[in-house]
Amino acid sequence: MKRFLTVLMLLGILLGFTYGIACAAGEAAPAATLDSSVKAMAALAAGLGLGIAAAGAGIGQGKGLAAALEGIARNPGASGKVLTPMLIGLAMIESLVIYSLVISFLLIGKL
């Protein structure tokens, strides 16, 4: 069973290599250009969308951070235990902004 799985894994890696080399050899497809009014809306969406996402994240992270800092101020010895969930919460809220950032990059790529 173990040998079968090892052979299967090596076969998968070999296939991955071949596909990678084939992909890099055949270059990218020609880019399609959009209409200029569509481009204007795409540029507007890229900027505004990220701005609104950042505003919401600023408010959310500010409230979370305020609660964490108040907890540390009341009990300085527990600062390690308060810091870890605070970092996790900040990363979760920030990930929503990151999704919007990825969409903005995609839109800017199409400009």
Q: Tell me which of 6, 33, 75, 95 binds other proteins, using CB under 8 A.
A: 95
The CB-of-77 to other proteins minimum distance in angstroms stands at 19
The CB-of-27 to other proteins minimum distance in angstroms stands at 12
- 91 contacts other proteins (rule: CB under 8 A): yes
- 25 contacts other proteins (rule: CB under 8 A): yes
> What gap in Å lies between CA 46 and CA 103, rounded to an integer?
7
> What gap in Å lies between CA 98 and CA 69, rounded to an integer?
25
- 15 contacts other proteins (rule: CB under 8 A): no
- 12 contacts other proteins (rule: CB under 8 A): no
Phi, psi of 27 (to 5 degrees): -75, 180
